[in-house]
Structure 1
């Protein structure tokens, strides 16, 4: 039986298209915008006093706004597809908002758009499927099944829609005349409300993302740092492991003061320094990774321009350093496109992968042959690990690393207890600590041949239910510290520090007391390789202030002896 005959057998009575329109508006208000209304009333409840009539108008304002949005789609052959689209996408977006506290803006839409399949599957759970089916797919099926009656002439239809718009605008005007100042005051002091109004939030974010992609298409590719040169190495070549973490927040790292021992493997490694106050550039990988490798800072970062612009890796490679990127987190976001790179796939290491993703221990495999394939001389190996990527934190560590139990072996983390959720997350942080310790051990074994060092920084943090927020991706201006305060470690072999005249006690002191951000990565890596370029900023190099007098790490001074 096909769908048409099934619908005929159900024999739904035909209803006026305006009824379908109004029912959808009311459904959207009650089902998908209650997060917005709940937040609105929560704000009012914290005021010393407010007009109760003003408070009562909020649902009607939402109804009026939705009507204005949906009326232009109310024509035959357009209405049903449009409403089905809004209902289904609204169900998905509402689940993310309700269960994870996600707020939709362009950055979040970018994060969604650039999510790889395996990552997307990690968000699928019984509760998410049931929610989307009951609130999205089922109402959409009912809408499709019900026949609609439309005006017999175009002019009659236009007249009807004009009446609806006139009434809506008139009522809106009356509400505005009475309470515009009230709404303006609440909105001005709580701008996040605008990012909670559905479907405006994700539709506007989608349009902004589309405009950004369109704009980026016409931006010419730009080379940067073409003056970059490197001082000659008179001793051993440099070997730097740059580890980009995923979703690690400093608050849960023992080296940064966390009450649990989530850093047992690195805690006693000589020369390892943890920087206590480090901020991320963004709250999602799609922003933070391109930003930290860009010569642009957090304050002026533009993703569209960064995508059409060389970055740190291009500059370092131009000076003769052999660069290699190893990926275990779904993609380098364009950063590694112009240097040799490899992305792990589950079939490469069956013992370390689950069919969708790989444990970070897989990153330790084949390091020796990968190094052997690189050019002789200075080497930069970048490891983009999967770290503590949620919501399936339990998949980020093997069973023998379940130090904190009971953990949360599911993707619908909002249904786990706080203890279970934190246990799973802490296990993933502890496992990352193990991975870093193994990378340092590898560098230690190579210290007779290279000046070795390691720099680790996470791309962003994570919310674990604080204030109803889960995961990450909150607008930076509203983001809690759990999403922006990230761990950063540096390890340098003793002889490496001596050869570069680095005062390690100074580094430890600044790590404890000074504030840093991912903006510091660009110049710090240039400094590690003694790269001279006008783009280098000594005040952004975390090691520059700890060089002993009379030494030099990197400079824009062309009088220095250089090699290309």
Structure 2
């Protein structure tokens, strides 16, 4: 970047940092710009040139402020920025993600074992060349500071220039505002620094004490059980029940009383998707979620999970992977089949007449789709075994993903078989996914794009229902949402509540 042994003026140093930050980390930003305006027109050229100048000057200005206040803090932050930038750009280039607030939440709620599945040699190259080498240069640099008077003159003139540039582009504000969320999610390092702050501010607000819903009553003593299976990254178009040309549902397709609805998710990432499934309405407030509400109103609730990202669950019987492993035997214990361990026996041991079981799966989460199912379910071949999904053919990628759907079909079949043996219960299974998944369409992978920008693959989800013989019939709804789960479960279990909405109930009275 510069001669390590020579002294360098602070203004030259931050200018170099800004240039290298621009060159190393802003290809995705300007790729989006070129794809979304007419770059051959005078107005398009004006926007591009203005954005380049704005980015270079604004970043240099911010770096200048930081280093003028403290060189030690400045070097620490610049090293941190270049390291995180290199990792961020790898994920943006490899998976087509945008680092908006929702994606930041997705990252911060992902556990280490899931993060480790993204490890690749290409990631190491990004980290080494774009992160570590520049960081060494930053640490070794000998920077000459300036007097406060010159500092104040410099920032004043720079601010004046930036304001002039912004107002000179007043005619382009509408385009920038329209695309601000994506542009902000691709601008390094501010995409993650700003959105991490926003995430924790909003999380603090949402983690305040939940708003209790009105008290409910049970209208009968009929023994009833609902098993709610929350899918992970399952998109409806790859289920043969929805017309997919591959037979990914060989078991469910042969079971009587299985129905499916067209459905959409309220978000494209796990935390918001699961919250939507458990909530009574589309509200930004933290209202009491379904398991907490039912448990408080005398329904027995069991939560089993191999995943994470749900809102706070306040029930007595909450079982994670490690809690279930001691009871499980066989190779299936390494996968979501673990959730079915002793499930029927657990339900039979419950003395309460009203039971909700929640199984929170992880079976279709990328990028390692081929590791989400036992080998005997690898029916569709060849499969993608790389975490760098762009290195696989789309056919290999889809084959691996389809095998996870085939495995999900088996898991749901096993749950239904258990419920069939509970003759004394009226039983229902509801399977709904937290969100969908992109598999290379439009060069996008996985999920997490803002809902306003996301393709249908990321929000069109399966909503599959089975009911025991003679229990309930279903309404002929054409389209439902995740919020239908809350009211449908209340209806099936005979829970009367002032919050109940018949319009969002899938069962006939």
Q: How high is the TM-score relative to the length of structure 2? A: 0.93
Deviations 1:347-377, CA, capped at 9 Å, x for gaps:
54574379xxx31111222213422443342
The CA distance in 2 between the partners of 1:347 and 1:15, in whole Å, is 59
2:450 matched residue in structure 1: 475
Going from structure 1 to structure 2, the CA distance change for 1:52 and 1:211 (only over 3 Å counts) comes to closer
1:18 matched residue in structure 2: 11
Deviations 1:299-354, CA, capped at 9 Å, x for gaps:
xx32xx42xx42211222233221101111135332x3334110013954574379
* 1:541 aligns to 2:505 (yes or no): yes
1:262 matched residue in structure 2: 248
User: Match of 2:407, SS?
Assistant: helix
Match of 2:347 among 365, 371, 386: 371
Deviations 1:169-203, CA, capped at 9 Å, x for gaps:
34334534543313x13213333223222222211
The CA distance in 1 between the partners of 2:35 and 2:296, in whole Å, is 55
Match of 1:242 among 228, 233, 251: 228
| 1:148-547 aligned within 5 A | 148-151=143-146, 156=147, 158-182=148-172, 184-191=173-180, 192-216=182-206, 219-226=208-215, 228-233=216-221, 235=222, 237-275=223-261, 277-297=262-282, 301-302=283-284, 305-306=285-286, 309-330=287-308, 332-334=310-312, 336-345=313-322, 348=326, 349=328, 351-352=330-331, 358-446=334-422, 448-497=423-472, 502=473, 504=474, 507=475, 509-510=476-477, 514-543=478-507, 546-547=508-509
Deviations 1:385-424, CA, capped at 9 Å, x for gaps:
1120111111111111111111011222222111111111
CA RMSD of aligned residues (A): 2.2
Count of matched residue positions in the alignment of Structure 1 and Structure 2? 502
User: Match of 1:78, SS?
Assistant: helix
Single out whichever of 358-367 and 340-349 deviates more from structure 2.
340-349
Going from structure 1 to structure 2, the CA distance change for 1:224 and 1:199 (only over 3 Å counts) comes to same
The CA distance in 2 between the partners of 1:205 and 1:195, in whole Å, is 8
Where structure 1 has 5 or more consecutive residues not aligned to the other structure, the ranges are 1-9, 548-564
Going from structure 1 to structure 2, the CA distance change for 1:190 and 1:212 (only over 3 Å counts) comes to closer
The CA distance in 1 between the partners of 2:378 and 2:451, in whole Å, is 32
Asked if structure 1 preserves the Cα contact closer than 8 Å seen for 2:292 and 2:314, the reply is no
Deviations 1:127-166, CA, capped at 9 Å, x for gaps:
1222122211221122112332334xxxx1x233334324
Where structure 2 has 5 or more consecutive residues not aligned to the other structure, the ranges are none
User: Match of 2:413, SS?
Assistant: helix
1:58 matched residue in structure 2: 51
User: Match of 2:358, SS?
Assistant: strand
The CA distance in 2 between the partners of 1:271 and 1:71, in whole Å, is 67
User: Match of 1:140, SS?
Assistant: helix
The CA distance in 2 between the partners of 1:216 and 1:159, in whole Å, is 45
Single out whichever of 128-137 and 158-167 deviates more from structure 2.
158-167
Match of 1:72 among 49, 65, 76: 65
Give, in angstroms, the shift of residue 241 of structure 1: 1.1
2:126 matched residue in structure 1: 131
Give, in angstroms, the shift of residue 54 of structure 1: 4.5
The CA distance in 1 between the partners of 2:390 and 2:329, in whole Å, is 30
Going from structure 1 to structure 2, the CA distance change for 1:52 and 1:46 (only over 3 Å counts) comes to closer
2:91 matched residue in structure 1: 96
Single out whichever of 384-393 and 42-51 deviates more from structure 2.
42-51
User: Match of 1:44, SS?
Assistant: coil
The CA distance in 1 between the partners of 2:479 and 2:74, in whole Å, is 54
Asked if structure 2 preserves the Cα contact closer than 8 Å seen for 1:244 and 1:459, the reply is yes
Asked if structure 2 preserves the Cα contact closer than 8 Å seen for 1:328 and 1:343, the reply is yes
Asked if structure 1 preserves the Cα contact closer than 8 Å seen for 2:100 and 2:184, the reply is no
Single out whichever of 523-532 and 115-124 deviates more from structure 2.
115-124
Going from structure 1 to structure 2, the CA distance change for 1:176 and 1:330 (only over 3 Å counts) comes to closer
Give, in angstroms, the shift of residue 232 of structure 1: 1.5
Deviations 1:62-89, CA, capped at 9 Å, x for gaps:
1122123222211322210121121111
The CA distance in 1 between the partners of 2:128 and 2:349, in whole Å, is 51
Going from structure 1 to structure 2, the CA distance change for 1:331 and 1:211 (only over 3 Å counts) comes to closer
Deviations 1:511-558, CA, capped at 9 Å, x for gaps:
xxx211001111110001111110000011111xx33xxxxxxxxxxx
* 1:44 aligns to 2:40 (yes or no): no
Going from structure 1 to structure 2, the CA distance change for 1:366 and 1:199 (only over 3 Å counts) comes to same
Going from structure 1 to structure 2, the CA distance change for 1:378 and 1:220 (only over 3 Å counts) comes to closer
Asked if structure 2 preserves the Cα contact closer than 8 Å seen for 1:322 and 1:378, the reply is yes
Q: How high is the TM-score relative to the length of structure 1? A: 0.84
Deviations 1:255-310, CA, capped at 9 Å, x for gaps:
111121111111111000011x201121111111122212332xxx32xx42xx42
User: Match of 2:225, SS?
Assistant: strand
Single out whichever of 264-273 and 139-148 deviates more from structure 2.
139-148
